């Protein structure tokens, strides 16, 4: 009887600790939810901007049309595909004269665009007002700053951003001797291209009638700004933030796995990720240096990309790039401004331990100097000094999988 009593006491004591485990799990969940909210995380609908659905639909057609490129050889949808999370799956983009999708564009040849193709998730939502890796379109100050200077075509920064690819050489302007006059990337050549594209759209009966109806104008009144507004409406609607499993965890009653929860706590805690990747888009939309390897010849040539410096010409902005938003980041490999890392775990590692991805012995002297310059700037960044094990990085990657969702409509492949 004494043995039975002792066993019962031990049995009761053992199972009495289970509520403690449950309480600890609940406490971790509460800490993670509060950390996300403190970092500016919002319900998906709070980021939405109203759009004209008629304009959205014609914007989709324009997004998929080659009429926007000078030689009619490329469309927005050539490099922004569903299968690559609205990017192209390449380290750096292949623009004009490229054919096929993904790796086919490299094999088949084409003009190189020296930076990684950015996806569209959340673009143009509430507060999303800085565009491109170097922020060359930026309305965070309340005024749109761009290459257009005082001649900005719109007060909507997303509409301004849509104006740029169709006038950039190699991206949608083919480099041919007979088109040199349109390759200056000046305001005058841009205006000429916009007029040409608008005339093409006007001649397309189906598109022009739909666009004119959506804009409540006559089709002979169509100008490029109308086209840009339609594409912006499509991007804003189709790729708007939708509830993810993390939204459901923070604002609902769902649960994350232990590994996902651990990753979230590391993301908002010791890993330091949320110091830059915060808010509803998991980006502060500001500019920071991360010592990623450089792939390709770079925006500045000879394996160099000065990033934000190319826009501001400020020495303090050298090697800095806008913090990439992380919605659907698991779908958009490869990563960094030059697409130098193909695994998400490598991209995470680069933020805290960039030397782990570099073999300096195989680099040229110039490449090493460039890398050392990046390291000096990275040394004062939010993530320098953080120590994460492989298991920690695996947990953060699991957490990032909770930020996945699908776009509203399928983008049709045009190549």
Q: Copy the structure tokens of residue 175.
A: 């480099």
What are the DSSP calls for 91-120, one per residue? Answer: SSEE-TT--SSTTHHHHH--PEESSPPP--
Percent of the chain scoring above 90 in pLDDT: 83
- The confidence band for 194, taking pLDDT boundaries of 50, 70 and 90, is very high
pTM > 0.85: yes or no: yes
More confident residue, 13 or 366: 366
* Close Cβ partners of 64 (under 8 Å, ≥ 6 residues apart): 75, 76, 77, 411, 412, 414
56-102 confidence digits (pLDDT tens): 999 999 999 999 999 999 999 999 999 999 999 999 999 999 999 99
Does the pLDDT of residue 400 top 90, yes or no?
yes
CA distance 354 to 292: 7
CB-based contact 159:153 (threshold 8 Å): yes
| pLDDT over threshold 70, residue 408 | yes
Strands of 123-273 (E only): list them: 130-131, 137-138
- Per-residue pLDDT reduced to its tens digit, 41-52: 999 999 999 999
Which DSSP helix (H) or strand (E) runs through 63? helix 53-63
Which of the four pLDDT bands, split at 50, 70 and 90, describes residue 11?
very low
Residues 124/235, Cβ–Cβ less than 8 Å? yes
- State yes or no: pLDDT of 1 exceeds 50: no
3-state secondary structure of 173: strand
Which helix (H) or strand (E) element contains residue 188?
helix 187-203
∠ CA(410), CA(414), CA(415), 5° rounding? 130
The encoded tokens of residue 160 equal 């301004």
Give yes or no for a contact between 243 and 72, defined as CB atoms under 8 angstroms apart.
no
Among the residue ranges 132-146, 236-250, 302-316, 378-392, the one predicted with the least confidence is: 378-392
- The pLDDT value recorded for residue 184 is 83
For the segment 171-180, the average pLDDT, to the nearest whole number, is 88
Query: ω into residue 411 within 30 of 0, thus cis?
Result: no
Say how far apart CA 386 and CA 348 lie, in whole Å: 11
Q: Which two tokens stand for residue 314?
A: 């400020």
| Alpha carbon distance 230, 236 (integer Å) | 10
CATH homologous superfamily of 53-238 equals Cytochrome c-like domain (1.10.760.10)
Average of per-residue pLDDT values in the chain = 92
Surface-to-core class of residue 92, CB atoms within 10 Å of its CB (0-12 exposed, 13-18 middle, 19+ buried): buried
Sequence length of the chain is 415
Residue 22 pLDDT: 57
The per-residue pLDDT for range 261-293, each reduced to its tens digit, is 999 999 999 999 999 999 999 999 999 999 998
Domains 33-45+242-403 and 53-238 share a fold: yes
Written as six digits, the tokens of 213 are: 């109806």
What fold, for 33-45+242-403?
Cytochrome Bc1 Complex; Chain D, domain 2 (1.10.760)
**CA–CA gap between residue 367 and residue 362 (Å, rounded):** 10
Break the chain into its structural domains and give their ranges: 33-45+242-403, 53-238
pLDDT of residue 216: 97
Q: From CA 384, how far away is CA 391, in angstroms rounded?
A: 19
Per-residue model confidence (pLDDT) at position 178: 80
Question: In the predicted model, is pLDDT for residue 15 greater than 50?
Answer: no
Q: Which of 311, 1, 300 is closest to 130 using CA atoms?
A: 311
């Amino acid at each position: 009887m004494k043995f039975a009593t002792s066993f019962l006491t031990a049995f009761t004591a053992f199972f009495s600790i289970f509520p403690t485990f449950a309480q600890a799990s609940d406490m971790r969940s509460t800490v993670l939810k509060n950390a996300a909210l403190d970092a500016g995380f919002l319900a998906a609908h709070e980021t939405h901007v109203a759009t004209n659905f008629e304009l959205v639909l014609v914007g989709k057609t324009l997004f998929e049309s080659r009429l926007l490129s000078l030689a009619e050889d490329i469309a927005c949808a050539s490099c922004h595909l569903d299968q690559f999370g609205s990017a192209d799956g390449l380290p750096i983009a292949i623009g004009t004269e490229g054919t096929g999708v993904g790796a086919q564009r490299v094999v088949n040849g084409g003009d190189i665009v020296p930076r990684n193709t950015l996806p569209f998730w959340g673009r143009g939502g509430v507060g999303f007002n800085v565009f491109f890796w170097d922020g060359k379109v930026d309305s965070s100050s309340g005024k749109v700053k761009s290459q257009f200077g005082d001649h900005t075509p719109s007060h909507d920064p997303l509409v301004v951003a849509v104006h740029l690819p169709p006038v950039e050489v190699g991206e949608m302007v083919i480099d041919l001797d007979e088109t040199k006059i349109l390759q200056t990337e000046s305001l005058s050549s841009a205006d000429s291209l916009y007029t040409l594209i608008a005339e093409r759209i006007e001649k397309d009966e189906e598109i022009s009638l739909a666009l004119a109806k959506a804009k409540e104008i006559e089709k002979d009144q169509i100008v490029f700004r109308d086209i840009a507004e339609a594409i912006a409406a499509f991007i804003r609607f189709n790729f708007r933030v939708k509830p993810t499993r993390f939204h459901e965890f923070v604002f609902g009653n769902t649960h994350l796995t232990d590994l996902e929860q651990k990753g979230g706590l590391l993301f908002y805690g010791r890993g330091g990720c949320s110091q830059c990747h915060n808010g509803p888009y998991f980006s502060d939309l500001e500019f920071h240096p991360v010592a990623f390897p450089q792939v390709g010849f770079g925006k500045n040539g000879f394996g160099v990309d000065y990033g934000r410096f190319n826009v501001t010409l400020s020495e303090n902005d050298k090697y800095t790039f806008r913090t990439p938003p992380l919605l659907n980041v698991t779908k958009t490999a490869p990563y960094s401004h030059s697409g130098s890392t193909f695994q998400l775990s490598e991209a995470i590692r680069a933020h805290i331990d960039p030397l782990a991805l570099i073999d300096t012995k195989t680099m040229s002297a110039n490449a090493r100097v460039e890398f050392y310059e990046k390291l000096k700037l990275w040394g004062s960044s939010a993530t320098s000094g953080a120590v994460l094990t492989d298991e920690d990085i695996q947990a953060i990657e699991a957490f990032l999988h909770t930020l996945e969702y699908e776009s509203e409509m399928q983008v049709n492949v045009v190549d």
